[in-house]
Amino acid sequence: MPQNLDTLHSAYAISARMNSSLSPEMKPAPATGWLQNAANEECRARVWQLGLLTGLKCEEDGIFAPANFERALVLDRLIQLRRPQRILEIGTGRGLGCMSMAASARSHGLAVEITTLDLSPTDLPIRWPIEIDGARQVLNASRREIWSLHIDPALTAVLREVTGETTRTLPALAREQRQFDLIFIDAGHDLYSVVHDLAYSTKLLAPGGAILMDDFAPLEEFGLGTCVVAPHARRFFGKVEIFPTEGLIYGGAVQPEAPRGMVLLTDPIAQEISVSRARLFAWRAAEFVLRLCHAAPFFPLRATRP
């Protein structure tokens, strides 16, 4: 069974035609890398429709744009290639990730159960840019409201929502000895959260499973957590692949010059995994130091005017 990104690359290199339904302000940025030829029209359209409902952003100037819909293309494809049954999403957000996986599974005739975790309750109203029947607006609505009104119930039927901080929910899943074939890490982006969530995800991963991490962004502070853990991940996974994603297909990248992508971890080592809570605690201190390293006054370089 094809399981790695090389297969993903070549499988994506099928069609280079862009989605003709993109409106002018959503036209894709110049694409580089493997996603540029990504995904057949059916897959793109599936992600696009879900993205309009669950993944749009609206900037201060009132312009609507896709917020990294490409992550959903990657998830869609991973479902098709790896055929996972037990899926864990860490960070539900408004639901583009979990809905894309559910839609991909349905399209490929796979039975899945998607456990999706978030600290914010499903009934909590949040700012929600959305396009409904061609009309764009910013609603104040909860996941429950939007999903029940606009998402196919067959997709939500495979979801199991769990509310709480990952520091509570992930250890609870580990105590229940749950295992997952595919885990998507996309919750807190601070260093501690990323280290914590990867540590527990590795423990929760079924033999032969895969972990996908979002927000590998070396030029931005929020992306540092993923950059720091990637070298550690190499000791626990046979294959660590980093690839650009944001804005490559649907446009909308915040800073196209500052690449933002994902990390795919496959071939987990076949050993008993345990999480050291004492060492995790030490990462709280590391987080503080890392923030300091990012503070401009802390850097030893000064530029003086001539």
Considering the complex, state which of residue 117 and residue 155 has its C-beta at the smaller distance from ligand SAM. Answer: 117
Q: Which one, of 257, 177, 183, lies nearest residue 218 by Cα?
A: 257
Enclosing H/E stretch for 296:
none
Nearest-approach distance from CB 167 to ligand SAM, in angstroms: 7
Nearest-approach distance from CB 57 to ligand SAM, in angstroms: 11
Going from the C-alpha of 245 to that of each of 6, 33, 117, 143, the distances in angstroms are: 15, 8, 23, 25
Nearest-approach distance from CB 298 to ligand SAM, in angstroms: 26
Nearest-approach distance from CB 250 to ligand SAM, in angstroms: 14
Considering the complex, state which of residue 118 and residue 246 has its C-beta at the smaller distance from ligand SAM. Answer: 118
Considering the complex, state which of residue 92 and residue 266 has its C-beta at the smaller distance from ligand SAM. Answer: 92
209-221 burial code (b ≥16 CB/10 A, e <16):
bbbbbbbbbeebe
Considering the complex, state which of residue 202 and residue 245 has its C-beta at the smaller distance from ligand SAM. Answer: 245
Residues engaged in binding ligand SAM (CB under 6 A): 71, 89, 91-97, 117-120, 165-166, 186-188, 193
Residue 127 in tokens: 């700012």
Q: What are the phi and psi torsion angles at 238 (to 5°)?
A: -70, -25
Nearest-approach distance from CB 306 to ligand SAM, in angstroms: 44
CA gap 298, 306 in Å, rounded? 23
Nearest-approach distance from CB 305 to ligand SAM, in angstroms: 40
CA gap 18, 37 in Å, rounded? 9
Nearest-approach distance from CB 279 to ligand SAM, in angstroms: 19
251-260 burial code (b ≥16 CB/10 A, e <16):
bbbeeeeebb
User: Tokens 């104040």 correspond to what residue?
Assistant: 140
Paired with 126 in beta bridges are: 141
Considering the complex, state which of residue 184 and residue 235 has its C-beta at the smaller distance from ligand SAM. Answer: 184
Considering the complex, state which of residue 8 and residue 90 has its C-beta at the smaller distance from ligand SAM. Answer: 90
Considering the complex, state which of residue 70 and residue 241 has its C-beta at the smaller distance from ligand SAM. Answer: 70
Start-to-end Cα distance in the chain: 63
Considering the complex, state which of residue 240 and residue 262 has its C-beta at the smaller distance from ligand SAM. Answer: 262
Nearest-approach distance from CB 302 to ligand SAM, in angstroms: 36
Going from the C-alpha of 203 to that of each of 4, 66, 110, 266, the distances in angstroms are: 21, 33, 25, 14
Q: Which one, of 80, 79, 57, lies nearest residue 69 by Cα?
A: 57
Residue 113 in tokens: 């159960």
Enclosing H/E stretch for 265:
strand 261-268
